[in-house]
């Protein structure tokens, strides 16, 4: 997702260094390219260690696509404040970037540029391009690669609020990954009836089989206030007998059930 110089491009280059990389401006467009066979796979962000889950990706997986997650990778995120050559911090009155980048650099901006206007861009790379065509009072939050690509200067390094800032990306494809012995499965479900213990009753299907849940969160169902869809990442592959049994038990208890895919758990040495 995004033009050259974005974190998504960096993740795609990390995942498939020798691949042909096709940039698209939105997460939905990446999915459409894979669904229509314009692309073999798509790399999209799903969660950040500071800002949390990427809503557009979750909504795509739940409501809008039948594509499966076939791989995951984690990318360290380092933000830079970029300017036109010769521009100083005293000149800056407007800062361009993607909303996620603004959220990840909130403390830096509040401390160093409290009066500067924030302008949202489609991507961090688009922000740098917009900054370079604006007047000399602009800056952008972007990547070191974007600075090279667009001829910008780095005014400040590693401006993210947390030094351990990371984004998890998933690779989407027509099918998920075959079992490797060290896998993760992502799914969603909605309880059939909102009553005390309903969620606990479902989660017990995993607990009693000693299946570890790596993550659980909820999203609005889009139906009405108070109705939610639960998203779960669990350790194991959907074809593992014990996981298969648990998933079938959960499927029988819920109103909505969808497995997004099983794929190798990320480890730095595996990518």
Q: Is 271 helix (H, G, I), strand (E, B) or coil?
A: coil
Distance CA 33, CA 12 (A): 15
Q: Is 257 a catalytic residue?
A: no
**Which residues, at least 6 apart from 30, have a Cβ–Cβ distance to it below 8 Å?**
1, 24, 39, 42, 43, 44, 172
Could you give the CA distance from residue 188 to residue 174 in angstroms, rounded to a whole number? 18
Residue 6 annotated as catalytic: no
Q: Enter the DSSP assignment of 61.
A: I
How far is residue 23's CA from residue 129's CA, in Å, rounded to a whole number?
A: 15
Query: DSSP label at 223?
Result: S
Sheet containing 138-142, strands listed edge to edge, beginning at the edge strand earlier in sequence: 117-120, 94-97, 138-142, 80-83, 153-156
Q: Provide the β-strand partners of residue 185.
A: 234, 262
Residue tagged active-site, from 167, 189, 206, 230: 167
E-only strand ranges, 15-136? 42-48, 52-53, 68-76, 80-83, 94-97, 117-120
- CA-CA distance, 125 to 146, in Å (whole number)? 6
Helix, strand or coil, per DSSP, at residue 216: strand
Question: Active site residue: 7, 24, 102, 169, which one?
Answer: 169
CA distance 33 to 29: 6
Catalytic residue positions, numbered: 167, 169
């Amino acid at each position: 997702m995004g033009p050259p110089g974005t974190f998504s491009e960096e993740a795609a280059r990390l995942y498939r260094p020798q691949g042909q990389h096709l940039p698209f401006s939105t997460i939905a467009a990446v999915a459409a390219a894979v669904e229509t066979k314009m692309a073999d796979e798509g790399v999209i962000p799903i969660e950040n260690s500071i800002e949390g889950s990427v809503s557009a990706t979750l909504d795509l997986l739940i409501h809008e696509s039948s594509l499966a997650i076939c791989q995951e990778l984690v990318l360290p995120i380092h933000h830079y404040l970029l300017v036109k050559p010769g521009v100083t911090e005293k000149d800056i009155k407007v800062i361009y970037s993607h909303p996620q980048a603004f959220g990840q650099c909130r403390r830096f901006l509040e401390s160093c540029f409290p009066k500067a206007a924030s302008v949202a861009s489609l991507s961090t790379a688009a922000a740098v391009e917009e900054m370079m065509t604006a007047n000399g009072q602009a800056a952008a939050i972007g990547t070191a690669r974007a600075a090279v690509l667009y001829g910008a200067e780095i005014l400040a390094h590693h401006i993210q609020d947390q030094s351990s800032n990371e984004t998890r990306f998933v690779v989407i494809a027509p099918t998920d990954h075959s079992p490797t012995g060290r896998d993760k499965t992502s799914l969603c479900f909605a309880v059939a009836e909102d009553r005390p213990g309903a969620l606990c009753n479902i989660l017990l299907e995993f607990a009693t089989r000693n299946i570890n849940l790596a993550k659980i969160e909820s999203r609005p169902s889009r139906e009405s206030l108070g109705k939610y869809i639960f998203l779960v990442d669990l350790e194991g592959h959907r074809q593992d007998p014990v996981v298969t049994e648990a998933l079938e038990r959960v499927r029988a208890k819920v109103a909505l059930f969808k497995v997004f895919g099983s794929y190798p758990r990320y480890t730095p040495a595996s990518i």
